[in-house]
Structure formats: structure tokens, C-alpha cells
Structure 1
Amino acid sequence: MKQDSFSGRATQGSFFEGLFVRSLQASGPFAEELRACGYDPHHPKAIYPIEVWNAALEVAWRRCYTGWTREAAYREMGRQLALGFLQTWMGKVVDMGLTMLGPDRLMARIPSLLALDTFRYELKVQPLGPHQYRVSIRNDPDAKPELIAGLLEAGLGRTGVKPTATVVMHREQDFDIDVTW
């Protein structure tokens, strides 16, 4: 079982709970495979090494999204992560504010909300026009733009709009996502 982080980076346990327990309801062989990579859905921890998060996402792709491309699966996992996280105690606190914020103010807060691990990559939100923004992430060693696009769509959906998040650029550790509604 993987316990240590080679990179020193960590991910919140509430993200694991949101995706794997609340949304995907890991059990049986799926839960066993998650345990083998370092996450036990029945004995959660407050934080996990980023390597466990990455391995668990791959397990979920193989187990829950058979036949899907990695990009499509990760986008759906981003949506499911958002919806499941909002069912956790921490997520319920966040969710109370989402509907009151509205989409434009939520976009302004994305840099503080979109921290999946302890690594502080460069994140910028730039307005492009009415109801249109670009989210730019740079120097993310584990760049998963489709996961982030799914998170953005689900989170913004909680503000009462129907958003579309499109990955417009992805090069190694850098990506841009255009968000409209």
C-alpha cells in the first residue's frame, strides 16, 4: 500500500470521499483496487499523497468508465467529484455559498477554490467577455484539464447557469479552459 508521497504533495481526504464514496460508491473489487493503491473507502484519512489520488483516478477510469476515452472519463469524474464533494460536511459549507455567489463572483474565486492538492501551480482567471472566462493553469505537474473542466461545469451549474467548459490548450504542465454560459 502506498503511504508516502515522493513529491511531498498531498490531496484532501474530502475529495476522495466526494468522488469514490459519495458519487462512485466504491465497493467490492473496485474498493479493493482502491485500497491496493492507498485509499481505503472504509477507513478514510484527512490527507493523501498526490500519487494515491492519481492512482485512484486511474482505477476509477478502468472500473467505472470502461470503453470511455481517458479525457471523457476524467471530465465526468470532475463532474462527479464536484457533486460528491458537495455532499461531504466541508462541501455542504461550500455549497451554501455557491448559489448566493452567482457565476461571475464564483469565477473570481476559482483560484482559491480550485486547489486539489498542496502544490501551488499558477492559476489565473481572465474575463473574455460577458459570461465568458479563461481559466489558465501553468506548471501543474499532474495536469488533468478535463477533470478541472468537469469540476468547473458542475460547480458553476450550482449557481443556476448551464456552463460549458472547453479545453482550448494543453501542453504538458500547462492548459487553458474557456468557460461560457
Structure 2
Amino acid sequence: MKPGKPVPLAERLVYIQVVEGLLQHGLRGRLSPRLRLRLRQAGIDVDRPLLPAYPVTLWVHCLRIIAEETWPSVPLEQAFRNLATAHVEGYGQTLIGRAVYGVMRLLGPRRLVQRLPQTLRATDNYTEALLTERGPTAYELRMNSALDCPGYSEALFEGLLRMGGGESPHATTLSVEDGHTTYLLTWTER
């Protein structure tokens, strides 16, 4: 992990490009009046300009609201996976996302994964990640967070790997302990 004092949970923020990517692009046409109301009641008003950053606890709460409202007839884990897929697509439509994704497509899956710690660090004020190579198409990624959104992070990483040209990308949670999550990221070469 990156050295330094950890950011306390109460001070952790997610930046606007992440929120914009999902709410203004990834969910375009799927923000029902009820979903808009629930998000506003939670603390994000999608009918007003977005703030530069939001508390991560609020953002995770909103992710759950969005999953419940947008995909009510599927199990919650599948709803979170659907949400992550929409988020990957939507983030790529933001100004920053277009630039980041353009580079990712050129890098290929291996170098994309090698850059994930820096890429993730640019989305918030707290992410620290440690990457360990387990093979030419397999890496462990240990992060200093544990989201209560089963399937979300896994689908997010799979979408990024797919964008970087990885065939059959797969992300598996290996462990969740002491506020850290370790994932195994694998793919096959095209």
C-alpha cells in the first residue's frame, strides 16, 4: 500500500467525474421520478449541478438506492453488476473518462492493470492499492476499502479489463478484512 496516513472514513470523498459518469451518462434515460426523489432525499440532487465531491458513505448509500430502483426484479448482486457495467460505460462519456479510456485501450490489459493503482487514486481522495503479479494474465489487487455492494467492484474491474482488450475478464474477491479487499483479476489474451 502507498505509505501515508489513512484518510478516516468520515473524510473520504468520491470526485465529481465518478458521480457524473454514472448519474448523467451511465443511467441516462433510467432516472425515474422516484429514483430522483430518493437520491435527493439521500443527499444528491440530480436536477442541480453536481458538487465537486461527495462523502463516500453517501455515495455507497446512493449506489444501493440506484441498484434497488433501476433493477428491482433481479437479485441485489446482479443489480450491482448491472450498475457497474452502466458506470463503466458512463464514465467513458465524461471529459476525464474519455481521456483515461483512450489511454486504456492503447495499453492493453496487462499495462492497464499495472496502472490501476494510479487510475483508482484519481477517482477519490483515499484509495490506496497494491498490485501483485501472479502470472502474465493474473494479478492480485489489494485496496484499502470494502464496499457493501456485492458484485459491483468485480463487474467494474471486468469492464475495465474488457475495455483494455482482455478476453474473458474475471474479477474475484479473495478476501475482505480490516477495511481492505483483495481481488484476483484474470483474463486471456486475444
Shorter-chain TM range is 0.7 to 0.9
Of 140, 157, 165, 1:160 maps to 165
Which amino acid counterpart does residue 41 of structure 1 have in structure 2? V
Q: Please report the TM-score for the alignment, with normalisation by the length of structure 1.
A: 0.85
Q: Unaligned 5+ residue runs, structure 2?
A: 1-8
Q: Please report the TM-score for the alignment, with normalisation by the length of structure 2.
A: 0.82
- Aligned residue pair count: 175
How far 1:176 moved relative to its partner? 1.7
Is 1:119 aligned with 2:126?
Answer: yes
What are the within-5 Å matches in structure 2 for residues 1-40 of structure 1? 7-25=10-28, 26-40=31-45
CA contact (8 A) 1:18 1:85 kept: yes
Q: Unaligned 5+ residue runs, structure 1?
A: 1-5
Which amino acid counterpart does residue 9 of structure 1 have in structure 2? R
Across the aligned residues of Structure 1 and Structure 2, the Cα RMSD in angstroms comes to 2.2
Which amino acid counterpart does residue 88 of structure 2 have in structure 1? A
How far 1:143 moved relative to its partner? 5.7
CA contact (8 A) 1:143 1:175 kept: no
How far 1:38 moved relative to its partner? 1.1
Which amino acid counterpart does residue 30 of structure 1 have in structure 2? L
Is 1:105 aligned with 2:111?
Answer: yes
Match of 2:140 in 1: 134
Q: Deviations over 1:127-159 (max 9, x none)?
A: 111211111124x26465632211211111112
Is 1:180 aligned with 2:183?
Answer: no
What are the within-5 Å matches in structure 2 for residues 55-74 of structure 1? 55-74=61-80
CA contact (8 A) 1:143 1:172 kept: no
Match of 1:52 in 2: 58
Please list every run of at least 4 consecutive aligned residues from structure 1 whose deviation after the TM superposition is greater than 6 angstroms.
none
